[in-house]
Amino acid sequence: MSYAVLADLVVVGHALFVLFVIFGGVIVLRWRRLAWLHLPAAVWGVAIELVGWVCPLTYLENRFRRLAGEAGYNGSFIEHYLEPVIYPLGLTEQSQVILGLSALLVNLAIYALYWRRRRRK
């Protein structure tokens, strides 16, 4: 398997991880045991956005791109792939915090619903 294909697979996996961080709580409403996987993922994803870290998957993708003879990119996965779509004028520190807080609030609301349903049973 070529390094370019590996880099593309990392991108797909990274995008799925981001979706899982944001919407995984909805899956937990159906399959409760996934909470043990989703909660740490959500904490990690929110922390990356709030603190401004770069996910290790970004470094892995860039490494594969360079090994394939392609150019990598600077910054984070969010900045490279999602920022042009979500923030065409640029991602600021404030908008990154808003992304992190939005993910946090979405998940808090979903888990509040989860615990409310659980208490009723």
Consecutive sets of 10 residues in the chain, 121 residues long: mean pLDDT of each? 88 89 91 93 91 85 87 68 60 79 91 86 71
Q: What is the pLDDT of residue 62?
A: 84
Q: What is the pLDDT of residue 87?
A: 54
Identify whether the C-beta of residue 70 lies closer than 8 Å to the C-beta of residue 7.
yes
CA 74 to chain centre: 17
pTM: 0.77
Identify whether the C-beta of residue 61 lies closer than 8 Å to the C-beta of residue 11.
yes
**Alpha-carbon gap, residue 5 to 86, rounded angstroms:** 26
**Alpha-carbon gap, residue 79 to 86, rounded angstroms:** 10
Q: What is the pLDDT of residue 83?
A: 62
Q: What is the pLDDT of residue 84?
A: 64
Q: What is the pLDDT of residue 109?
A: 93
> 76 CB contacts (<8 Å, ≥6 apart)?
48, 54, 55, 58
**Alpha-carbon gap, residue 34 to 105, rounded angstroms:** 19
> 63 CB contacts (<8 Å, ≥6 apart)?
72
